[in-house]
Amino acid sequence: MKLAHKDIEKDNAGQVTLIPEEAEDMWHTYNLLHVGDSLRASTIRKVQTESSTGSVGSSRVRTTLTLCVETIDFDSQACQLRVKGTNIQENQYVKMGAYHTIELELNRKFTLAKKVWDSVVLDRIEQACDPAQKADVAAVVMQEGLANLVLVTPAMTLLRAKVEVTIPRKRKGSCAQHDKALERFYEAVMQGILRHFSFDVVKCVLVASPGFVKDQFISYLFKEAVRQDCKILLENRSKFMVVRSSSGHKYSLKEVLCDPAVTARLSDTKAAGEVKALEDFYKMLQQEPDRAFYGLAHVERASEALAIDILMISDKLFRHQDIATRSRYVQLVDNVKENGGNVRIFSSLHVSGEQLNQLSGVVAILRFPIADMSEAEEDSSSDED
């Protein structure tokens, strides 16, 4: 993402002009947009024209519209973002108040204006425009007959391809069919890696599976790379890392990223840091439950007591339609930062973010233990009685 222009006043109202440069930037834009914002972008509109003879024709014209945002639709697989709203700046093709849907395009600038730019949204712009954030990881999570090819970027987990091949069982005295099917499966996964992983960007490729599938696949991959003289695989051999997982399904990616060897290798990536932070929270919940809080009300009280060391919060909460609720989450983040706490905003498109959403979307590890809030509430209510 490129920041072309930024104009924010002292009262936090203003506008920014951004240029999305890659598919992931659409996810960042989705998190920046809220209902009621104004979005100015280039779009295509079908226009009806009437000739001097009275015949009516229609043509598609490119024009620039300014919409008051009403609905935002994001397709996570195609990374496409559509914004629907009413036109608030009349031009020769579109009247005031007319509805239109803009599909934001790569490498075409757009201007976003808000009445209030809060700290979380401004941090998101800074993160999206920082080239150091692009330390990307690819993963092949597999088992016999099933492989998921996944890209783990700083903001999301993208399923790039799913390979499924039926593998017959080994029979007494004959393994030929089983071996042929397995070879077909490995070949399909190899082609998927070449098609979907860009080795210029990817720093590490994790190959994970239960049993010996991963080892057999790596052996096949580089044997074939030598036979076919596939330089791209041979040159990037050091980027491949073999890890154990419990299955070949996408959800096994979480345990793969938790592996200490993987964490050490990916120490410079945001995804590994998020997984480790969540793992620390679960450990704390088991060992010292008075230092592990979740749920907005409990975490807010811990923040008031200046007790929060690490706050983990899902970006999904900042897309809440109710402005008052959204500003509560922003206020919580600001308070924790002011008091020297560490804030981690998890992407809801990451496996770690999905898990955090199951815990209400906001959890905290405390500097010192606080007695269970529910017990304290019961005590105070019994005192009142």
Q: What is the pLDDT of residues 183-239, one digit of tens each?
A: 999 999 999 999 988 887 788 899 999 999 999 999 999 999 999 999 899 989 988
**Residue 214 falls within a domain, yes or no?**
yes
92 and 144 share one domain: no
Q: Which domain holds residue 264?
A: 136-268
Domain assignment present for residue 53? The answer is no
> CB within 8 A of 2, min separation 6: which ones?
18, 19, 21, 129
Q: Which of 23-27, 178-182, 362-366 has the highest mean pLDDT?
A: 362-366
In a domain, 91, yes or no: yes
Tell me, yes or no, whether 97 and 206 share the same domain: no
Looking at the structure, do residues 165 and 281 belong to the same domain, yes or no? no
Whether the CB-CB separation of 369 and 291 falls below 8 Å is answered with yes
Determine the Cα–Cα distance for residues 146 and 208; give it in Å rounded to an integer.
Answer: 12
Q: What is the mean pLDDT of the chain?
A: 86
Decide if pLDDT at 384 tops 60: no
Confirm whether 51 is domain-assigned. Answer: no
Do 73 and 144 belong together in one domain? no
Instruction: Collect all residues with Cβ–Cβ distance below 8 Å to 168 and sequence separation of at least 6.
Output: 177, 178, 181
Name the domain count of the chain: 3
140 in the same domain as 258:
yes
User: Is 196 in the same domain as 255?
Assistant: yes
Helix axes 296-304, 373-384, angle to 10 degrees: 80
Which of 35-44, 57-66, 372-381 ranks highest by mean pLDDT?
Answer: 35-44
Same domain, yes or no: 186 and 251: yes
308, 353: one domain:
yes
Which is nearest to 311 in space by CA: 325, 330, 327, 286? 330
User: pTM score, two decimals?
Assistant: 0.65
User: Do residues 253 and 283 share a domain?
Assistant: no
Assess if residue 36 is contained within a domain: yes
